[in-house]
């Protein structure tokens, strides 16, 4: 792997200036293959008497990568890689791949599925789609403009779902998997700030504070709760640092995780079996980006301890992120890229 020779401090800095052609190709390799891989595929729907539709028929844009949300964040990975890495070695292949799927007719079909099932992919898929739209919006490129224009009907549909549903909820889901409310709210917040939707950004920040501002004494030692790929505690803290001024956030963090500095939080052993256990590789990666962000927001002993904890999690997560096991290969590079570019515009 091209990351083994890179200093951990460089990896955790969250900047893309060190990413060379080899690293860019590694980050794009599995997503580029997976977005066109129709099977195996998780349907997550009730079949009709006529039998199940093929994934390509049901979701002609986001049919690959085992499930819809993974297809979306693999597209995000490819687009973000193109935007951040000059002379990307897979630029032509990525462009051809996206051009083939991103057509008005295909996007109309995607919108139709959301109209038939308004809760489809709530909230995780919604959040990742808005990240993809934001990535296209911040890229000064004719192809990006064309792709975002084609996706605009779906962007409007999901933005409406977010406003009417996610932001109207008063009880958050504190889980380590797809229904985590804090992760989705962070996606919405970053999208809204990127595209200049101040009303949506304010609403997302208000929902975040309503849901989490009174939390205290979180038992982080109970995590992971299952096959988690997010830390409910750290994802929540990562969100609150984005919607609070420093003094307010410091006070909140002292109540939420008293005395926590990462010293006793070790990376999770994902074992050697693969499959759903690879969620725990994602957990190490997402913990790493949260811990690094918290270290940046705090100071003193806590910041130093959180940085060291982030380093341990980043090293363990990146060592397994580029597995050949499709159960992880179809999504883990997205989490790796999120970690490695967390301080580039558009995240946090």
Q: How far apart are CA 28 and CA 33, in angstroms?
A: 9
pLDDT tens sequence across 217-258? 999 999 999 999 999 999 999 999 999 999 999 999 999 999
Closest CA to 274 of 239, 227, 236: 227
Residue pair 12/307 in contact by the 8 Å Cβ criterion: yes
Q: How far apart are CA 74 and CA 69, in angstroms?
A: 9
pLDDT tens sequence across 132-177? 999 999 999 999 999 999 999 999 999 999 999 999 988 999 999 9
Dig out the tokens for 288 from the structure: 């790493």
The reported pLDDT for the residue numbered 45 is: 61
Preceding omega of 224 cis (within 30 degrees of 0): yes
Q: What is the pTM assigned to this prediction?
A: 0.97
- Angle 81-191-115 from CA coordinates, rounded to 5°: 105
pLDDT bracket for residue 205 (50, 70, 90): very high
The reported pLDDT for the residue numbered 46 is: 59
pLDDT tens sequence across 260-318? 999 999 999 999 989 999 999 999 999 999 999 999 999 888 999 999 999 999 999 99
Dig out the tokens for 16 from the structure: 């893309």
Q: How far apart are CA 313 and CA 204, in angstroms?
A: 29
The reported pLDDT for the residue numbered 301 is: 81
Q: What is the mean pLDDT of the chain?
A: 96
Q: Is the pLDDT of residue 50 over 90?
A: no
Residue pair 190/346 in contact by the 8 Å Cβ criterion: yes
Q: For the chain, report the end-to-end CA distance as a whole number of angstroms.
A: 27
The reported pLDDT for the residue numbered 253 is: 98
Instruction: Name the least confident of 46-55, 259-268, 270-279, 322-331.
Output: 46-55
E strand spans, 245-284: none
Burial class (CB in 10 A: 0-12, 13-18, 19+), 342: buried
DSSP string computed for 275-329: GGGGHHHHHHHHHHHHHHHHHHHS-HHHHHHHHHHHHHHHHHHHHHTT-S-HHHH
Neighbours of 251 (CB within 10 A): 11
Cα dist from 7 to 1, 13, 119, 306, whole Å: 13, 10, 43, 17
pLDDT tens sequence across 88-107? 999 999 999 999 999 999 99
Q: Is the pLDDT of residue 49 over 90?
A: no
């Amino acid at each position: 792997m091209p990351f083994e020779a890179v200093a951990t401090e460089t990896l955790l800095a969250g900047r893309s200036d060190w990413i060379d052609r080899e690293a860019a190709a590694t980050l794009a390799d599995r997503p580029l293959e997976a977005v066109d891989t129709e099977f195996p595929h998780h349907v997550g729907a009730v079949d009709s008497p006529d039998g199940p539709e093929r994934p390509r028929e049901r979701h002609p844009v986001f049919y690959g990568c085992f499930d819809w949300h993974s297809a979306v964040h693999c597209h995000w990975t490819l687009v973000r890689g193109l935007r951040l890495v000059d002379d990307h070695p897979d630029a032509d292949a990525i462009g051809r791949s996206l051009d083939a799927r991103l057509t008005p007719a295909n996007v109309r079909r995607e919108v139709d599925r959301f109209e038939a099932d308004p809760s489809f992919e709530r909230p995780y898929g919604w959040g990742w789609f808005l990240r993809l739209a934001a990535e296209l919006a911040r890229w000064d490129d004719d192809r990006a403009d064309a792709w975002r224009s084609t996706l605009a009907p779906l962007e409007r549909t999901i933005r409406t779902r977010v406003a009417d549903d996610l932001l109207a909820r008063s009880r958050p889901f504190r889980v380590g998997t797809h229904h985590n409310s804090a992760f989705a709210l962070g996606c919405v917040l970053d999208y809204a700030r990127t595209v200049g939707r101040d009303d949506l950004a304010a609403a997302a920040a208000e929902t975040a504070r309503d849901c989490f501002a009174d939390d205290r004494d979180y038992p982080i030692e109970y995590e992971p709760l299952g096959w988690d790929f997010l830390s409910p505690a750290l994802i929540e803290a990562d969100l609150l640092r984005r919607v609070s001024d420093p003094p307010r956030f410091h006070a909140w963090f002292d109540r939420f995780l008293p005395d926590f500095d990462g010293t006793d939080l070790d990376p999770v052993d994902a074992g050697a079996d693969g499959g759903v256990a690879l969620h725990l590789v994602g957990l190490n990666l997402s913990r790493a980006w949260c811990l690094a962000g918290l270290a940046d927001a705090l100071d003193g002993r806590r910041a130093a301890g959180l940085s060291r904890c982030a380093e341990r999690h980043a090293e363990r997560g990146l060592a397994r992120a580029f597995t050949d096991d499709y159960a992880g290969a179809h999504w883990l590079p997205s989490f790796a890229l999120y970690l490695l570019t967390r301080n580039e515009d558009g995240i946090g």
